[in-house]
Chain A
Amino acid sequence: MNAEKEPLFSSKNMKLLTEPLNDSNPITVQVLGICSALAVTVKLKPAFVMALSVMVVMAVSNVVISLLRKTVPPRIRIIVQLVVIAAMVILVDQVLKAFVFDISKQLSVFVGLIITNCIIMGRLEAFALSNKPWQSFLDGIGNATGYGVILLIVAFFRELLGSGTVWGYKVIPESVYDFGYENNGLMILPPMALIVVGAIIWVQRAKNKKLVESN
């Protein structure tokens, strides 16, 4: 392939960036990375930080693995991938602890769990091992964005309905509470995250018929 002549944002490259947002969304279609996605979505702010951390880890490790793809023997590739990811996650964890300590406390073990987040391993295996660094970088950013978008949607609804705030600001006026409106405490509890994701999948598949499963 003639990479020198190909523009950086050719239509093929743009597709790498936009496809994970809908048709091959990591959470709702590829079913990757659910573990950490649901636990951090009680409030928007930690969800945003989590999405950002995943994006950094994913873009960098995708590029690194893509650069190494010709030198790493296939038999030890999993351990190499784990080391690259773990090193990146340690960096991100230390940065979060230094600059946004209270959010890092809220995320607790879930930053560490980015290591075993199947979305990262999955993309490394499926894409970075067989593609050039720039494409892998775009693929990483695209998939992390698709992941982040779902995270933010879930967090938005859970925060709005569960605590009546968005990004920590009150949006439901006092007068509504005076009429007898109550925050839905159920939304803050873990099981509701699953049901919200289920609803998102329902809406997405109702719009996008080709994603419907046969069974």
Chain B
Amino acid sequence: MENLVNIFVKSVFIDNMIFAYFLGMCSYLAVSKTVKTSTGLGIAVIFVLGITVPVDYLIENHLLKEGALVWISESFIDVDLSFLSFIIFIAIIASMVQLVEMIIEKFSPALYSSLGIFLPLIAVNCAILGGSLFMQERAYNNIAEATAFGLGSGVGWFLAIVGIAAIREKIRYSNVPDPLKGLGITFIITGLMGIAFMGFMGIKL
């Protein structure tokens, strides 16, 4: 259990998707104009990362890894399909996003109408594919750890986008030099937030 909390906290603060790896920057920059919309997108990302990372973990360990196909027949012990992981992961993500969209629409129309337009966008958000690829690279021991990592990354992304949106709402009233307005100042603020987040480095629970 301690291990899970540790992975979760680490992926929220230290290995933050935005500040440490720049994943999901495109939607992060495009959608962070108001707090309300960025909260919606952030929640959708937590949702999708929390589902796709464990699913990709199962696919990776029971289909793609070298020797993962033994459960079908002993003769598959040498088969290594890991070169297919990119194409499989992206297919899983696209279909998962579709599925999540359908489920939310059925069971919670209120949530659906607030997330609505953001869900399809998420399929091409690099934070999602990045989550699965990091999961593959770091080789977590079991599905619970993979889930903790997925949810933690999502929460980290959520914190980052809501934070920047709040700052951008305020900065509209400040005197930013003309050439720096909009994109430029957003980059620099993100950099400063990243430096602040580095204060969490080395935390261990």
A68 and B179 alpha carbons, distance in the complex (Å): 41
Residues 150-197 (chain A) with a chain B CB within 8 angstroms:
186, 189-195, 197
Residues 97-120 (chain A) with a chain B CB within 8 angstroms:
108-109, 112-113, 115-118
Taking a contact as CB atoms under 8 Å apart, the answer to whether A35 and B126 are in contact is yes
Taking a contact as CB atoms under 8 Å apart, the answer to whether A205 and B22 are in contact is no
The answer to whether the Cβ of B87 comes within 8 Å of any Cβ in the partner chain is: yes
Residues 118-151 (chain B) with a chain A CB within 8 angstroms:
124-126, 128-130, 133-134, 137
Taking a contact as CB atoms under 8 Å apart, the answer to whether A36 and B126 are in contact is yes
> Interface majority SS on A: helix, strand, loop or mixed?
helix
Residue of A nearest to B136 (CB): A109
Q: Mark B177-205, 1 if CB is under 8 A from A, else 0.
A: 11111111111101111110010000000
Q: Report the contact-size class of chain B (Cβ under 8 Å from the partner).
A: 35 or more
Residue of B nearest to A121 (CB): B124
A112 with B129, Cβ < 8 A, contacts A93-B86, A190-B19 known: yes
Q: Mark B58-83, 1 if CB is under 8 A from A, else 0.
A: 00000000000000000000000001
B residues near A (Cβ < 8 Å) are 19-26, 29-30, 83-87, 90, 94, 124-126, 128-130, 133-134, 137, 172, 177-188, 190-195, 198
- Provide a sorted-by-A list of 14 A–B residue pairs whose CB atoms are within 8 angstroms: A31-B183, A32-B26, A33-B26, A34-B25, A34-B26, A34-B29, A87-B87, A109-B133, A112-B85, A118-B124, A189-B194, A190-B19, A212-B179, A215-B182
